[in-house]
Structure 1
Amino acid sequence: MGQIVGAAIVSHHPGLMQCEEFRRAMGAGEDSDLIAGYTRLRQHIEAQKPDVVMIFDSHWFTTGYHLVDGGARYTGSYISDEMPWYLHGVPYDYRGHPELALAIEAVSRERGGFSRAVCHPELGRHYATVNLVKHLRLELSHTPVVTVSSCQNCDWQHFLKSGETIGEAIARSDLRVVLLASGALSHKFNGIDWTPKHPRIFHESNVSSPDNIISDKRAIALMQEGRHDEILARWNEEYRRLPWEAFGAHYLQMLGALGGAECRAKGVVLSDYENARGTGNVHIWFDSQPHLRNHASSGSEFTARSGAAA
């Protein structure tokens, strides 16, 4: 039986791709702690020895379907159309996993769902995937990467269902998989003429509003407690309204694969909570846990590790 051996919410913000000298200039002499956080996260991932890393990409917006990239290999040089003045010329060369992508589509078809695999090696990349591939050194480890889109005409329940489908496909496989929800929490940008409140640009006080800071920190605390059900209970009234990046698609799909509202995986915070042009960013790792809902009848098991409630 396949296993989800770990999961994480991971910041991908493009400022982290700039050179250390520039980052320190932005940080009043200090680097972003999200950089050190990548090292901490990489250690967690490497300890699990995954066969595949799956990235829920909050920049890959699709319409009508949750898409899964099923190419055997992706190679190229990335340039961002959003910030090409510094995010350009980023080479990438990493393996995909077509079999897993096709298995997800097969489970979706069984369930009358809306997930499709796209097995084309020229499918465009987005920095929510490329930045993680580079910072987590997935090319060097030769770990296959599968990216999942954020379907823009979905409600939050559809993202949970997408995650359930992915969790079932993994359970039927023989793969060890780490899930990465690539994106921010609150995602309201500061204006173009914004004046920082704190000289260290990454500092949390530069997040777009005090209310967003309070809400993000409340969500982080609930994740540390493993109370994902409480986050879902407040979704429409709070997190959908902030809103979170991609309306939370990256987190919700990850959570759906882990059992949805029944998931009690406790989060380990691996970085400071930081600002990125007004958005709230953090790395949080979740150890795997016994699956509680949609795989219970299939007999699949998830390894219970420290930091997860059984």
Structure 2
Amino acid sequence: MGKLALVAKITHVPSMYLSELDGPRKGFRQAAIDGHIEIGKRCRELGVDTIVVFDTHWLVNAGYHINCAPHWAGNYTSNELPHFISNMAFEYDGNPELGRILAAECNAQGVDTLAHDATTLDPEYGTLVPMRYMNEDRHFKVISVSAMCTVHYLNDSARLGWAMREAIEKHYDGTVAFFASGSLSHRFAQNGLAPEFATRVWSPFLETLDHEVVEMWKRGDWQTFCEMLPEYAVKGHGEGFMHDTAMMLGALGWSDYEGQAEVLTPYFGSSGTGQINCVFPVTPQDGSAVPGPQASVESGFAPGASRL
């Protein structure tokens, strides 16, 4: 019935909002903003009606959660970085119908998931920042999915991504995009050093590791990357324990995926972290490579936050 038309790994650095404002940092994140604008343009060309964001700023301690309220509006200030995002206005429309469809299929496939279509909970900035540049006119409906998962296994997040793709293809009459909203390495600069790391990665090790990962993505070496993802999430300080990336790869077909990343915003450092905007072509898949529910730590699919 429906179609997953576009998948992307995207940045949401709050310095993008700071880049809009008058001051010494005005314009310094234009490349990241332009990448978001291009992704939004492609979504429009593909007929996307709803964007689903795997948001690594939505922390949850039990279950997977979908924020699919019909409407959000307000002014957002980051509790984490209030000097970067303060009183940022937002207004977007959700898709309760699709949210319920996604949750139903996840549960049917054994991934405990709750859809919240009657909630006062607003999205976090992992959703709000990208939508600011991709969806200013509210052209797309928006759904936010919890992706900072503190007691979850990466294999379950991969299964959630695949279940959500199947939900769209089997039960939804529309066209959808999935965004993994989170960084590569995510080791913030030590307190007091943030200004000098505004455009740098924290260490040569992390920067080298990230560059090698991007090269894997560009050449389509998904077998290697999926095998190393649990260790990369730990040693690379992956944002949200890289559950957004596992969800994204589950939707693409996990290690059977044969597509290659197209980089729209080249890798860049931000406050010590490694960031990128890139898109992945959606190819036919049967989901056979997506890890099962009994996969263990030793089998290479599992470190959730409880082991980090």
Q: Does the TM-score normalized on the shorter chain lie above 0.5?
A: yes
CA displacement at 1:294 relative to structure 2: 5.4
Partner of 2:8: 8
Identity of aligned residues (%): 25
Asked whether the equivalents of residues 223 and 267 of structure 1 are also in contact (C-alpha less than 8 Å), the reply is: yes
**What secondary structure does 1:253 align onto?**
helix
| Residues 252/88 of structure 1: CA separation in 2 closer, same or farther (3 Å cut) | same
Residue by residue, what CA displacement relative to the aligned partner does 1:74-118 show, whole Å, maximum 9, x if unpaired? Answer: 122211111223412222111111111111221123223211101
Partner of 1:63: 61
Partner of 2:95: 97
Partner of 1:78: 76
Partner of 1:236: 230
**233-242 or 164-173: which moved more?**
233-242
Aligned partner (choices 275, 283, 290) of residue 277 of structure 2: 283
Residue by residue, what CA displacement relative to the aligned partner does 1:228-267 show, whole Å, maximum 9, x if unpaired? Answer: 2221111233333212110111111111112112112211
Coordinate RMSD, CA, aligned: 2.1
Partner of 2:215: 221
In 1, Cα distance between equivalents of 2:251 and 2:288: 9
- Matching residue's letter, 1:257: A
Partner of 2:142: 145
| Count of aligned residue pairs for this structure pair | 287
Partner of 1:299: none
- Matching residue's letter, 2:15: G
Asked whether the equivalents of residues 95 and 142 of structure 2 are also in contact (C-alpha less than 8 Å), the reply is: yes
CA displacement at 1:272 relative to structure 2: 2.1
Partner of 1:182: 181
Question: After superposition, where does 1:1-310 map in structure 2 within 5 Å?
Answer: 1-20=1-20, 25-26=24-25, 31-136=29-134, 138-150=135-147, 151-172=149-170, 173-194=172-193, 201-202=198-199, 206-293=200-287
CA displacement at 1:141 relative to structure 2: 4.4
Asked whether the equivalents of residues 123 and 144 of structure 2 are also in contact (C-alpha less than 8 Å), the reply is: no
| Residues 153/127 of structure 1: CA separation in 2 closer, same or farther (3 Å cut) | same
Residue by residue, what CA displacement relative to the aligned partner does 1:144-171 show, whole Å, maximum 9, x if unpaired? Answer: 0111102221121111011122111111
**13-22 or 93-102: which moved more?**
13-22
Asked whether the equivalents of residues 74 and 121 of structure 1 are also in contact (C-alpha less than 8 Å), the reply is: no
Partner of 2:295: none
Asked whether the equivalents of residues 73 and 121 of structure 1 are also in contact (C-alpha less than 8 Å), the reply is: no
In 2, Cα distance between equivalents of 1:197 and 1:57: 27
In 2, Cα distance between equivalents of 1:237 and 1:91: 38
Asked whether the equivalents of residues 9 and 245 of structure 2 are also in contact (C-alpha less than 8 Å), the reply is: yes
CA displacement at 1:220 relative to structure 2: 0.8
CA displacement at 1:195 relative to structure 2: 7.2
Partner of 2:293: none
**118-127 or 8-17: which moved more?**
118-127
**TM-score, normalised relative to structure 2:** 0.87
| Residues 47/124 of structure 1: CA separation in 2 closer, same or farther (3 Å cut) | same
**What secondary structure does 1:283 align onto?**
strand
| Residues 84/193 of structure 1: CA separation in 2 closer, same or farther (3 Å cut) | closer
In 1, Cα distance between equivalents of 2:85 and 2:96: 28
**TM-score, normalised relative to structure 1:** 0.86
CA displacement at 1:213 relative to structure 2: 0.8
Partner of 2:306: none
**259-268 or 274-283: which moved more?**
259-268
In 2, Cα distance between equivalents of 1:278 and 1:8: 22
| Residues 141/230 of structure 1: CA separation in 2 closer, same or farther (3 Å cut) | same
Asked whether the equivalents of residues 240 and 248 of structure 1 are also in contact (C-alpha less than 8 Å), the reply is: no
**227-236 or 4-13: which moved more?**
227-236
Consecutive unaligned residues of structure 2, counting only runs of 5 or more, are: 290-308
Asked whether the equivalents of residues 68 and 142 of structure 2 are also in contact (C-alpha less than 8 Å), the reply is: no
In 1, Cα distance between equivalents of 2:233 and 2:152: 15
Asked whether the equivalents of residues 80 and 127 of structure 1 are also in contact (C-alpha less than 8 Å), the reply is: yes
Asked whether the equivalents of residues 72 and 97 of structure 1 are also in contact (C-alpha less than 8 Å), the reply is: yes
**What secondary structure does 1:240 align onto?**
helix
Asked whether the equivalents of residues 263 and 292 of structure 1 are also in contact (C-alpha less than 8 Å), the reply is: no
CA displacement at 1:211 relative to structure 2: 0.9
In 2, Cα distance between equivalents of 1:171 and 1:195: 44
CA displacement at 1:40 relative to structure 2: 2.5
